Amino acid sequence: MAFSKILVANRGEIAWRVMRTAKAMGYGTVAVYSDADRDAPHVAFADQAERLGPPPVGESYLSIDRILEAAHRSGADAIHPGYGFLSENEAFAAACANAGLVFIGPPPDAIAAMGNKAAAKRRMIDSGVPCVPGYQGADQSDANLEKEARKIGLPVMVKAAAGGGGRGMRLVEQDGDLLDAIRTARTEAESAFGSGELILEKAVIDARHVEIQVFADNHGNVLHLGERDCSVQRRHQKVIEEAPSPAVDADLRARMGAAAVAAARAIGYRGAGTVEFLLGADGEFYFLEMNTRLQVEHPVTEAITGLDLVEWQLRVARGESLPLTQQQVRLDGHAIEVRLYAEDAYAGFLPQTGRIDMWRPATGPGVRIDHGMKEGLAISPFYDPMIAKVIASGATREEARLRLVKALRETVVLGPTTNRHFLIRLLEHPEFAAGGATTAFLGKHSFPGPEVTDAHWQLAAGLLWQQSAARYPAALRGWRNSNPEPTPFRLAVGDTERTLELAGAPSATVPHVVDGNDIVVDLDAFTVRFQDRTYQPPASAAAGSDGKLRAPMDGRIVAIKVAAGDKVVRGQTLVVLEAMKIQHQLKAALDAEVESIAVQEGQQVANRTVLVTMAGDAAAR
């Protein structure tokens, strides 16, 4: 079907990326945005932009009616869903068709066939695609799921039947954890996907997560474009992706590719899709799920095939045949991608929010950075905290790895805490460098947070000295005619406070920003936020020792597990906070008595909001 103007029903880097290809092919482009994204780069880049509504996704990016209204107002005749949000929603695909719009994705029936993991797995078993042993039945009672899990045998994965991205997923290794995992996964799944249906699967320990990129057209042609290895994950969400997989040879690629093509044919697929497998240490592979959309990690496939997958999507959507046959597909070189997130990787991967004060993405041979960022833009608590995808390619895996490390070191992002330093450590780890990382990689290796060095403290104080020197005359800084009078600075990082005396600016030039009373310093890819307490009265007590449980990030209170007067013990869950659709158990750090509850279930709270006050010396985390 012909179309001329494409509305991209998404935000950030994927919206911008889709529009670049669409514009290059001569299409008009329409961006949509919530109030939180009004000033986002993808909005400015589009030929037209339409407001959807306020920031909550239900009133903006997940509102089918508002997106269709935006398409009507703008004159768009096609919709590209990107990934996430409504990209795998069969009702949205059907609504587009009913409105006379071309949906740049698979038919609604194909989305529905793979949108529910339980139904998809039953279909794949019927089609002869190898699947992980498990339970995907209709009886969803806690008691039955417990019984089926024990029948499968621990360890077992509890997974949401709808959706993906690691939400509503729990690994259970101890029998005593089973019921809590089922209930938590169900609650999280209901919140994220609107369905609490669960499936159970035998956990394949120390496996690799290998996925096959497939493409299909309206003329019966289906092929694959090789595999991606996405084994390095946290919370079952991908951290590093690469193509090809270090564990896949030509024979295994052909067998996995054939299984993926069979899966796509079985549901009458069209467009870009990904069939995900677990690859065991014994070389056996098992179907996990099919993502009926473009993947976050599609750039690594583009790098080794030389193809533009969005261009293929648009050509298939307008009725063209696939431009290549399976025999014509060539894989050349290697590519690795990391997801640069606003999160504290050394504090349980807690999502972070706040303004991006400095953003300088790296450039160089073989380096590609897909992002939707600019300085001054805020990381919002309403959406996924990914800042950018950093991709490097080369003739060999080692060349790609080294280029990626260099690109991360040269990328400057100051504002909220990010995982940049952590990503570099992963890429430099000997096991990853050797190509041996499996899904157990992060679980079996320790990555403690780095220490704030003397160099960081000295730099922060020196930069503040430099700022004060530019702002105030020397007489006000205690100058004397023999030698400069040292200027004291009292700085703090978290609970640690130090006083430093400096008489000069730092000799090194480092990225930094001053944000109110804070100064953020980047040294050797490790970014530290210092609070300048020089002109503040000394703190009477260290943070966290005042018996108050505070929110570690912006989020919504989904459960309060205690009441005033309750006795609690160290490690007991007090409050459950949901942020970016992940539920975080906030626990007592010491034995104490609950004095008061300051919030209610359903309440949206800001970072550092006091949630629970406890009597006694009850630090909380």
pLDDT band at residue 580 under the 50/70/90 scheme: low
User: Which range, of 44-48, 472-476, 490-494, averages the lowest pLDDT?
Assistant: 472-476
Q: Which of 81-90, 132-141, 478-487 has the highest mean pLDDT?
A: 81-90
Task: Tell me which architecture the domain covering 133-202 has in CATH.
Answer: 2-Layer Sandwich (3.30)
pLDDT classification of 226: cutoffs 50, 70, 90: very high
CB 79 within 8 A of CB 71: yes
CA distance 372 to 394: 25
What percent of the chain clears pLDDT 90, i.e. is strictly above it?
72
Distance CA 257, CA 267 (A): 16
Q: Are 599 and 560 in contact (CB under 8 A)?
A: yes
Residue type, 547: G
Residue 545's pLDDT is what? 47
Counting beta carbons within 10 angstroms of the beta carbon of residue 315, is it exposed (0 to 12), middle (13 to 18) or buried (19 or more)?
middle
For 204-225, the pLDDT digits (tens) are: 888 999 999 999 999 999 999 9
Which tens digits make up the pLDDT trace of 502-541?
777 777 678 999 887 889 999 889 999 999 988 765 543 3
How far is Cα 428 from Cα 51, in angstroms, rounded to an integer?
43
| pLDDT tens column, 119-136 | 888 899 988 899 988 999
Is residue 619 predicted with pLDDT exceeding 60? no
Beta carbons of 514 and 502 less than 8 angstroms apart: no
Angle at CA of residue 30, ends 29 and 31, nearest 5°: 125
Cα 591 from Cα 614, distance rounded (Å): 9
The pLDDT score that the predictor gives to residue 590 is 79
Half-sphere exposure of 523 toward its Cβ, with a 13 Å CA cutoff? 20
Query: Which residue ranges does the chain devote to CATH 3.30.470.20?
Result: 208-444
Say what the pLDDT of residue 541 is.
35
The rounded distance, in Å, linking the Cα atoms of 237 and 216 is 26
Phi/psi for 164 (5° steps) reads -170, -150
Residue with tokens 């690859």: 279
pLDDT at residue 546 in the model: 65
Q: How far apart are the first and last CA of the chain?
A: 56
Which residues sit opposite 209 in a β-bridge? 278
pLDDT digits (tens, 9 = 90+) for 341-390: 999 999 989 999 999 999 999 999 999 999 999 999 999 989 999 999 99
SS (H, E, C) 188-238: HHHHHHCCCCEEEEECCCCCEEEEEEEEECCCCCEEEEEEEECCCEECCEE
Q: CA-to-CA distance for 261 and 209, rounded, in angstroms?
A: 18
Residue 485 has pLDDT above 70, yes or no: no
Range 150-178 average pLDDT: 88
Intervals of CATH 3.40.50.20 along the chain:
5-104
Q: Are 192 and 163 in contact (CB under 8 A)?
A: yes
Identify which has the larger pLDDT, 504 or 604.
604
Q: Average pLDDT in the 464-488 region?
A: 62
Query: Where along the chain do the CATH 2.40.50.100 domains lie?
Result: 548-615
Q: 156 has which bridge partners?
A: 172, 202
Which pLDDT does position 514 carry in this prediction? 87
Mean pLDDT of 393-412: 98
Q: Is the pLDDT of residue 621 over 60?
A: no
What torsion, rounded to 10 degrees, do the Cα atoms 540, 353, 443, 299 define?
A: -160
pLDDT score for 483: 56
Q: Where in the chain is the domain with CATH 3.30.1490.20?
A: 133-202
Alpha-carbon radius of gyration of the chain: 26
Catalytic residues: 293
Residue 459 corresponds to which tokens in the numbers above? 């730099």
Cα(603)–Cα(207) distance, integer angstroms:
40
Alpha helices in 103-202 (DSSP H): 108-115, 117-126, 142-152, 178-193
Q: Look at residue 544 and tell me whether its pLDDT is greater than 50.
A: no
Q: For 175-193, how does the pLDDT look when each residue is reduced to its tens digit (9 = 90+)?
A: 999 999 999 999 988 887 8
Q: Angle CA(163)–CA(169)–CA(174) in degrees, nearest 5? A: 160
Q: Are 80 and 9 in contact (CB under 8 A)?
A: yes
pLDDT at 338: 98
pLDDT given at position 482: 52
pLDDT in tens, 262-314: 999 999 999 999 999 999 988 999 998 999 999 999 999 999 999 999 999 99
Task: Let me know: does 199 contact 193? Beta carbons within 8 Å.
Answer: no
Q: Rounded CA gap, 425 and 590, in Å?
A: 32
Mean pLDDT in residue range 410-431: 97
Domain 5-104, CATH number (from 1.20.1250.20, 3.40.50.20, 3.40.1000.10, 3.40.640.10): 3.40.50.20
Q: Give the mean pLDDT of 388-397.
A: 98
Q: Which two tokens stand for residue 416?
A: 């909220």
pLDDT at 143: 94
Crossing angle of the two packed helices 108-115 and 90-98, in degrees rounded to 10: 170
**563, 597 contact by CB (below 8 A):** yes
Phi, then psi, of 122 in degrees rounded to 5: -60, -40
Q: What integer pLDDT is reported at residue 468 of this predicted model?
A: 74
Q: Of 353, 351, 350, 372, whose CA–CA distance to 361 is shortest? A: 372
In 282-325, beta strands by DSSP E: 285-291
Which SS3 state, helix, strand or coil, does residue 3 take? coil
Would the pTM of this model clear 0.75, i.e. be above it? yes
**Fold exhibited by the domain 208-444:** D-amino Acid Aminotransferase; Chain A, domain 1 (3.30.470)
Burial status of residue 324 (CB atoms within 10 A of its CB: 0-12, 13-18, 19 or more): middle
CA 342 distance to own-chain centroid: 9
What distance in Å separates the CA atoms of residue 459 and residue 530, rounded to the nearest whole number?
11
Selecting from 2.60.120.10, 2.60.40.10, 3.50.50.60, 2.40.50.100, what CATH number does the domain 548-615 have?
2.40.50.100
Which has more pLDDT, 167 or 8? 8
Q: Pick the most confident of 188-197, 243-252, 590-599.
A: 243-252
Q: How far is the C-alpha of 321 from the C-alpha of 312, rounded, in Å?
A: 9
Model confidence at 227, in pLDDT bands (50, 70, 90)? very high
Residue 477 has pLDDT above 50, yes or no: no
**For the chain, what is the mean pLDDT?**
91
Phi, psi of 200 (to 5 degrees): -120, 140
Distance from the Cα of residue 218 to its chain's centroid: 33
